[in-house]
Structure 1
Amino acid sequence: MTRVISTMHRLVELGLSGMAIAYERQLNQPDLQQQTFDVRLGLMMDAEVSERETRKVERLVKGARLRESQAVLEDVDYRASRGLDRSLLMSLTECEWLRRRQNLILTGATGTGKTWLACAFGNQACRLGFTTCYRTANQLFEDILLSQADSTLPKLRRQLIKTQLLIIDDLGIGGITAQLGPLLLEIIDQQSRNGSLLITSQYPQDKWYDLFADPTIADAILDRVIHKSHALQLKGESMRKMRGKKS
């Protein structure tokens, strides 16, 4: 027994908690103890890999700060009134667009589930090992302007441009000022070389140009965003109202 406890402690001290749990499981299952050393070691190594992958995903999800942290693509509501193209959504679920550094745009009226779906894609990205960052457009723009004022913009810029999936939720509220435009352009230009954008907006894409105070900046940003984007438009009655009717 002392030897068993010592082995367990050693595994934990070495940071092999997955192997320690698997080792204890083997001790409690006589049929596993009858397996060869190679088989038992293999099972322990598999458990360690699984444990590390789980911890990594948990870290990525926590770091993403998703508003709807429990949203997952398996729970998407495909009712006909929402107008979702199921085959397109299923293909986007594989996240090949992320690997190719393409973008995803979700549009629709307020309450149609854009934020929830964006967070579901954020969770999927974390599962696949992509670093993810969620911000509402207002939060992001405020962070950029405040960091410029207190001279921390370089730090924020590095954080944003190294993110493999940057989610900008609810683009359009308040518009994009002449002061903000060049700063946002620099971030989007550099981030697009490293990863992808997921943008939600209640404004259709053909109205985005009018959100910018500076038309030159608008051209530059939209050229980088729209031309390599997949688009989904959500329709139907407000999901919030529908949930309220059920309660």
Structure 2
Amino acid sequence: MMNNETIRKLHAMKLYGMASAVEVQATTAAVSDLSFEERFGMVVDQESSFRDNKRLSRLLKAAKFREPTACVEDIYYGAERGIDRSRLASLTHCNWIRSGQNLLFTGVTGSGKTWMGCALGNQACRFGMSVLFKRVPLLLEDLAMSHSDGTFRKQLAQLGRPDLLILDDLGISPINSMGRADLLEVIEQRAGSKSVLITSQLPIDRWHDYLTTGGKSGAGGNATQADAILDRLVSGSHRLDLRGDSLRKSTKAGQKGSKDSSEKP
């Protein structure tokens, strides 16, 4: 009876982890031999774990990852990919995010850029950091619409809040003058304090041409804005170029010839 009242009060105070632990202890004979300090410690540990898991679930949901199940433990380190294990291992500690540094992933279609970006974003969430995933083409469309409905500054503020902003597929579609200006505002909002992770099929040395011409051969553009974007993105950033053929191709080929062919990017 006393336990029921205690559990009710714990729920009323939103101490759900402690309530669950008390219920378990009430029905587990093995804990009766433990001291009060040991049993109370178990109750507190359960509450702490409950809160950590709840926060992680909230952060993962808010991030809106394109690859929600991607995690650093599943990264494929095939020699053909050219991934430096020690360098990537250092990135999984997320100190680059704490320092407000950027990370740039490049590689061919299907090389696992998006998956790896989501895996590192997942890792950041485990450390209690906020993350937001956005595909560049859709983001620029949303920002263009926000100019007409008066929500641009609100969206810009939202993009500036997360500890890590993942911008996926830079360069996959043409960018016009408004898109270029909006992208600069997004990058400027975060420069020097909050991290950006970029994925792109284009090698970094082609980003300036893309941003200047909008991806249209022979077209003019604003080189000054391109310079400003690259200065804030590339300067002092971490860079990883994923090599080799598309992992999607290798997976499909493996599925035809092997029962155990699935490999994580």
TM-score (norm 2): 0.90
Mapped to 1, the partners of 2:9 and 2:240 lie a distance apart of 51
Unaligned runs of 5+ in 1: none
Q: CA deviation at 1:94?
A: 0.7
Give the match for residue 86 of structure 1: 85
Residue 39 of structure 1 and its aligned partner are, at CA, apart by 2.0
Check whether the contact 1:110–1:202 (CA below 8 A) recurs between aligned residues.
yes
Counterpart in the other structure of 2:218? none
SS of aligned partner of 2:177: coil
> Equivalent pairs: percent with the same residue?
44
Task: Point out 4+ residue stretches in structure 1 off by more than 6 angstroms.
Answer: none
Alignment partner, residue 236 of structure 1: 244
Q: Are the equivalent residues in 2 in contact too, given 1:169–1:201 (CA < 8 A)?
A: yes
Structure 1 residue identity aligned to 2:144: L
Are 1:161 and 1:194, in contact at CA under 8 Å, matched by a contact in 2? no
Match of 2:191, SS state, is helix
- Counterpart-to-counterpart distance in 2, 1:124 and 1:186: 27
Contact 1:107 1:203 in 2 (8 A): yes
Question: 1:245 matched to which residue of 2?
Answer: 253
Aligned equivalents of 2:235 and 2:193: distance in 1?
16
Measure the CA separation in 2 of the matches of 1:37 and 1:12. 22
Q: CA deviation at 1:127?
A: 0.7
CA distance in 2, matches of 1:20, 1:34: 20
Q: Which residue does 2:222 correspond to in 1?
A: 214
TM-score by length of 1: 0.96
| Unpaired runs of at least 5, structure 2 | 212-220, 256-265
- Measure the CA separation in 2 of the matches of 1:137 and 1:67: 13
Tell me how far apart the structure 2 counterparts of residues 193 and 159 of structure 1 sit (CA, whole Å).
Answer: 17
Output the CA distance in 1 between the equivalents of 2:142 and 2:162. Answer: 16
- Number of equivalenced pairs: 246
Q: Secondary structure at the match of 2:22?
A: helix
Deviation of residue 129 (structure 1)? Answer: 1.1
- The one of 217, 223, 228 equivalent to 2:231 is 223
Distance 2:206 2:150 in 1: 33
Of 54-63 and 189-198, more deviation after overlay is shown by 189-198
